[in-house]
Structures are given as C-alpha cells and as structure tokens.
A and B are shown apart, each in its own frame.
Chain A
Amino acid sequence: MTTRAGARLWVAQRATAALLALCVFVHLATIVYAVRGGLTAAQILSRTHGNYIWGAFYSVFVLAAAVHGAIGLRNVASEWLGFRGSAAEATVLVIALALAGLGLRAVAAVVL
C-alpha cells in the first residue's frame, strides 16, 4: 500500500462519513414522517416504485455505506486481528463489493 493509497482511503472514509450523516438523517426523517398514520409494505412499494429520485438517493447511500464500512473493517482487521497485507485488502474488497451488490439489489427491488 503506497502512502498515496493510504491517504486516499482516509479521505474516502471521511467523505463517505459526511455523506452517510446526511443520508441517515434524510432516511430517518422520511421514515418518521411517512409512517405517522401507519403504512403497509404494499403502500411503501406503491410509492417507491418508479421513483428514480429515491432510487438515486438510496444508491448513493448504499455505495457510501459499502465504502465506509469496508475501510472501517480493514482498520479493525489490522488493529484487532493483526490481519494485514494483500490478503486483508482482498477480503475487505470482497466485503465492499458484497455490501454494494446486496444493497443495490435491494434498491432495485423497491424502485424498479
């Protein structure tokens, strides 16, 4: 890992943290607002289906979470488990791709 790559991971984690703070706030505020009178799964799907603005919002949310979480796991693996080097990099990359894949699949399921 070059110093530039290390610095970029740090910037990516901070930038995604800022993004996630905004996304989590919008996500929770929307939930609180939308369920005031009770809401069924069918009603939720009827509102999200075809709504590409929410689709874009949650896609950003998912990608930010995948990047942020994977970098955090990389740090935890390094500091707490002593798991470092290319094997660790590959493992967290797989986790990041899995998080992004599963998350985007869920977004697609409620929007498309």
Chain B
Amino acid sequence: MSREPDGFEGKALRVSVWRGGAEGRFEEFEVPRRESQTVLDTVTYIQRHLDPTLSYRFACRVGMCGSCAMTVNGKPRWTCRTHVDKVAADGRLSVAPLANLPVVKDLVADMREFFDKWARSRGQFRPTATRSDEFARVRPDSPGRREADAGIECIGCGVCYAACDVVRWNRDYLGPAALNRAWTLVNDARDGAKRERLQAVAGDAGCHSCHTMMSCTEHCPKKLSPTRSIAGLKRATLRIALGEDS
C-alpha cells in the first residue's frame, strides 16, 4: 500500500461527479480527505488517481482566472476557492458543470454563449481619443468612475450566469455579467458607444427582464452586485423609453 501524502486525515470523502454531456449521470468516487482541501483538489485527485478520462477546466488555482467554476452541491462556485470543509459537512460532495450552459463533457461547460452575450451587449470599449491625444483625466471620486469601479473587477467566471433564473427562463437574456460589463462602460467617460450600448441592453433580452432576485449578487465570488449595475442600466435606458434615442 502506497504511503499517503502529508495532510491525509484518514477519512474518505464521497464525491458524486457528473459524467457525460447533457444526457449523463453522476458517478461516485471516494477521495481521501485532507487538510485545507478545496473542491478543485478533489476533482484533480479523481482525474490523476481514479479516472484519467474525467474532463474539467482550471488554470490559476487561486481565484484569479475564473475558469474552474462548477456547480458544487447545487450552487455555482469557484472550485479553487471553495474549501471542502465549508460545503461537505456530511462528507459528501456533488460536482457538476455550471448550469444554464451547454455541457461539453463531464465538468466542462461550453462558455461560448456566455461570452457571445458580452459582445452582444457591446462589452467592448470604443475609444474616443487617439494615442496622440492627452491622457484622459478621470477623477477617482467622480460619480461615473465610482459606478465603474463597483463593477469592474468581474473576471467572467460565469457563476452569476449559472445562478440566474431569468437566464434559465429566457435563453436570449444577456445575463448579469454581460449587463454588468455594459454598465461599467456606460460609466466610462472615455467611451464613445454609449447610445448603441444602451440600445443593445434594453428590452426583453436585456436589463428590463431582470426581476431583481439578486441570485447573481448572492453568488458572485468577487462580491460584486450585477443587480445594482442592471438597475443602473434600467435608469439609463429611460431615455430610450421616452424617445430621446431611437
């Protein structure tokens, strides 16, 4: 019998892992319990020691890249920053791909529609100056800069998108992350596409479909509030409703 690595606490964790595509099933594995173990550690253990065919996605392992988000015990989370201690009190874990996205295989969700919606909500910065112009001076305490600051730290992990009921009900809905991104750009004094962006985020697929249930805000690992950003977009699009912009 091989010697267990340091930190093995002698207990086994029972981990149910989604296998297959949209039509798949949960498969159960026993993983040694370790001190300071994260959910990502358990998934990595399964792939390296129990079943090398398991597919999952990760990169930085420290909560910077946003690529390891999965559904853990029914809730969307970053697996790298979720300690087993916090979510598996009874020694059981279930790990599935992010909800509201197509499944590629096992724990890998297809993020294309998520990022396509960033593009549809005009999530690209459109400059109004050239490199020969002076630097824009944006006061840190200006209202627009404060609004942008409140939402700018999003790393696009998709947790809010997976948590959003409106996305589940309406596949066209742009989702909290894309709308949050749009709101940061609406508040960017240097951006030149505000009108097009507000038109892109209004209506049934956009901010007006948000029911303010705050699931995105509740689950965001960065503690951002896409709900607040979406409320800002609703106010900003009043001009469209009142006919100022066509």
Contact = CB atoms under 8 A, between A and B. Distances in A.
A10 B237 CA distance: 10
For the residues of A in contact with B, the DSSP-based class is: helix
Interface of A: 1-11, 75, 78-80, 84
Nearest to B171: A82
B234 A3 contact: no
Interface in B73-95: none
Contacts of A10: 208, 234, 241
Contacts, number: 46
A44 B241 CA distance: 41
A1 B169 contact: no
B206 interface: yes
A79 B166 contact: yes
Contact of B203 (A7, A75, A84): A7
Interface in B229-246: 234, 237-238, 240-243, 245-246
B141 to A, nearest CB: 31
Contact of A7 (B169, B200, B237): B237
Contacts of B166: 79
Interface of B: 166, 169-170, 199-200, 202-204, 206, 208-209, 234, 237-238, 240-243, 245-246
Given A9-B208, A10-B208, A79 B241 contact: no
**Top 3 A-B residue pairs of the complex, sorted by shortest distance between their CB atoms:** A6-B203, A7-B241, A79-B169
A4 B239 CA distance: 9
A4 B202 contact: yes
B169 A8 contact: no
Contacts of A9: 208
A4 B240 contact: yes
A4 B243 contact: yes
Contacts of B238: 7, 11
Contacts of B208: 6-7, 9-10
Contacts of B200: 3
11 contacts: A4-B243, A6-B202, A6-B203, A6-B204, A7-B202, A7-B203, A7-B238, A7-B241, A9-B208, A79-B170, A80-B169
